[in-house]
Amino acid sequence: MLGSLRMQLVTFAFHNLSPMNIREAKFLMSNTRVEQCPAPTLPEYAFIGRSNVGKSSLINMLTGHKGLAKTSSLPGKTQLINHFLINNEWYLVDLPGYGYARVSKDARVKWGRMINYYLRQRENLTCVFVLIDSRHEPQAVDLEFMEMLGSEGIPFVMIFTKADKLSGTRTQQNVADYLRKMQETWDELPRHFVTSAEEKTGREEVIEFIAEVNRQLAEEGSDA
């Protein structure tokens, strides 16, 4: 019985990785509804995780544009679905955080609905980056969120953030503990990255991952 409860992952196969330059990153629009989002004609990568985990900071670090996504030390800064166009080739999306207790219940319910609807309806959504604070023990709200992605068949990878806040050894230990916890539920572990927006750690790995997925999509498209 337990076996049937274990989660299946939607994974990406890899060949060789080569770097991608972010030549251009521009803010397009903020929305509350999928219907108003840009036409779903390009691959889309969405950044999600608890409020204050560092989604907007990571987007700025990856794109090399400091003020592109709005950041704040106060949780609840990002409140809408924000689309950015990268190299005229793919969309990057900054989403509000989930599970933050000090945000009013009404706002939490509203954002939760907005995020869930977006995740289920956005047809060009290619991969979700689930951000996890590398300092903390596994939290139920994150584990449940990833299980929801698994049961909806939405591909995701994990990004452990704020790696500069602890020693390298402590961060690695926390990541290993987290993955061990995930093994209780998942047949296969998702791919994961360790990042620091502060020290620009993990930038190349994440960008190369996106480049490789984009390449695969383009190949599949040209085969069709």
Q: Decide if residue 78 touches Mg ion (CB under 5 A).
A: yes
- Eight-class DSSP state of 151: H
Site membership for ligand GTP, residue 162 (CB under 6 A):
yes
Contacted by 190, from Mg ion, ligand GTP, none: CB < 5 to 8 Å by type = none
Under the binding rule (CB under 5 A), the answer on residue 56 touching Mg ion is yes
**214 touches which of ligand GTP, Mg ion, none (CB within 5 to 8 A by kind)?**
none
173 binds, among Mg ion, ligand GTP, none (CB under 5 to 8 A by kind): none
Q: Do 157 and 191 meet the contact criterion of CB atoms below 8 Å apart?
A: yes
For ligand GTP, give the closer residue by CB, 126 or 196: 196
One DSSP character per residue, 8-47 reads P----------------EEEEEEESSGGGSPPS-S-EEEE
Among 16, 19, 14, 13, CA closest to 203: 19
DSSP 130: E
Tell me how far apart the alpha carbons of residues 150 and 6 are, in angstroms, rounded to a whole number: 10
The piece of 71-79, 122-130, 148-156, 212-220 that touches ligand GTP (CB under 6 A) is 71-79
Q: Could you say which of 40, 75, 138, 155 contacts ligand GTP (CB under 6 A)? A: 75
Q: Is 60 in the site for Mg ion (CB under 5 A)?
A: no
Residues forming contacts to Mg ion in the complex (CB under 5 A) are 55-56, 77-78
